[in-house]
Amino acid sequence: MVDVSNDSQSVETLRWRDGRLEMIDQRVLPARFEYLPYSSASEVAEGIRSMVVRGAPAIGCAAAYGVALESLALRQASREAFVAGMEKGFEVLAASRPTAVNLFWALKRMREVWEANKQGTVDEIVDRLLAEAHEVSAEDVRINRAMGAYGAALLPDGARVLTHCNAGALATAGHGTALGVFRSAVEAGKRISVIADETRPFLQGARLTAWEMVQEKIPVTLITDNMAGHLMSRGEIDAVVVGTDRVAANGDVANKIGTYMVAVLAQRHGIPFYVACPLSTIDLAIPDGTAIPIEERSADEVTGFRECQWAAEGVQIRNPAFDVTPAELVTALITEKGVVTQPNRENIAALFAS
């Protein structure tokens, strides 16, 4: 078994080593556990686009480091080239993936530090940006632990909980959002068993969630996505907890493709549907889910996996990577500021007012 422990008791998705960023290559898990090195904004952007790193909070953390790395890479440049290079770095990172708002949230935060320190020496700029990137990651773990505590209280002892995609330590700087709720519940002495949707087409459930849970000996059962309704109809699922990539101001939730289907099924069977959602994932500028940009990824992800291609040549392909669950299907958002039941425009706005 791989030693993945850090101070958050879970896998270290991103780490700073010898003046560069290292990220676990999530494309090759669970067959291989290896870190890849990153030294510039464009390298990090490519790591996000190709899903070496994925999951909304982890994408935000990676982007923050991408900005800091760019300042380091430009250290010897003229002042003019330094400023132009930094702007290019922000641009290339912002273009990496469209749906997870944490990317833009982290870039905004890094831009504020950049703008505030622009007149300083290059060393000062590098130091400030790097300190901020470290803080974005450290804060993410603290937030996940707070959400975990609130979420754990919602789960009864012995709960069998379904999750979709991977909202675990691998999707964050540590502990995870949805899987953080499970971890916290287990730490609190509750017996929790996890049902992991495989999560077509990129298999984050089968490859990542199952791996994380097995590493920590939290009981986990893998199912294909089309099995969830059957298990619900047999009374084998007590709750659903998922993560999210962007929540609109009215509480509509964008998450991995297939989440909407799970939410509809949960409502049909009277099963609570919880969304673990740090405030950095709420986008008040988006009035409702119809305005959330949905990434369309490459056809290759649908026609096969790695070397194995199974679809007929010449077939047309759609590959929307996310869908939107209307707020009315969400039992509660679990945030670091507490649980918001039946999310709507008013109770979401109130989260930011206090």
- Edge-to-edge strands of the sheet including 14-17? 14-17, 20-24, 35-38
Cβ distance to ligand MRU smaller for residue 215 or 244: 244
* Local structure of residue 206 (DSSP, 8 states): I
Q: Determine whether 245 is an active site residue.
A: yes
Cα Rg for the chain, rounded, in angstroms? 20
Nearest distance, CB of residue 242 and ligand MRU, angstroms: 6
Tokens of 315: 């077939």
Nearest distance, CB of residue 173 and ligand MRU, angstroms: 10
If one counts every other C-beta atom within 10 angstroms of the C-beta of residue 137, the result is 24
Nearest distance, CB of residue 240 and ligand MRU, angstroms: 12
| Nearest residue relative to ligand MRU (C-beta) | 243
Nearest distance, CB of residue 122 and ligand MRU, angstroms: 33
Does 55 belong to an annotated binding site? yes
Cβ distance to ligand MRU smaller for residue 54 or 145: 54
Cβ distance to ligand MRU smaller for residue 40 or 209: 209
Catalytic residue among 245, 252, 283, 323: 245
Distance between CA atoms of residues 321 and 340, nearest Å = 26
Q: How would you classify the pairing of strands 332-335 and 338-341? A: antiparallel
Does 97 belong to an annotated binding site? yes
The residue type of 322 is F
Does 54 belong to an annotated binding site? yes
Q: Which of 39, 32, 35, 38 is nearest to 13 (CA)?
A: 35
Nearest distance, CB of residue 13 and ligand MRU, angstroms: 11
Question: Maximum CA pair distance of the chain?
Answer: 67
Does 144 belong to an annotated binding site? no
Which residues here bind ligand MRU, judged by CB under 6 A?
Answer: 54-57, 100, 165, 167, 171-172, 177, 204, 242-245, 255-256, 321
Q: Which of 16, 7, 29, 341 is nearest to 171 (CA)?
A: 29
* Local structure of residue 320 (DSSP, 8 states): B
Q: Which of 240, 161, 165 is nearest to 204 (CA)?
A: 165
* Local structure of residue 316 (DSSP, 8 states): -
Cβ distance to ligand MRU smaller for residue 113 or 282: 282
Cβ distance to ligand MRU smaller for residue 50 or 342: 50
Nearest distance, CB of residue 245 and ligand MRU, angstroms: 4
Does 9 belong to an annotated binding site? no
Does 56 belong to an annotated binding site? yes
Cβ distance to ligand MRU smaller for residue 86 or 262: 262
* Alpha helix ranges (H) inside the chain: 41-49, 56-73, 79-94, 101-117, 122-152, 178-187, 204, 210-215, 228-233, 259-268, 300-303, 345-353
Does 344 belong to an annotated binding site? no
265 contact partners, CB below 8 Å, separation of at least 6? 228, 229, 232, 271
| Enzyme catalytic residues | 245
Residue ranges of the binding site? 54-56, 97, 204, 255-256
Residue ranges of the binding site for substrate? 54-56, 97, 204, 255-256
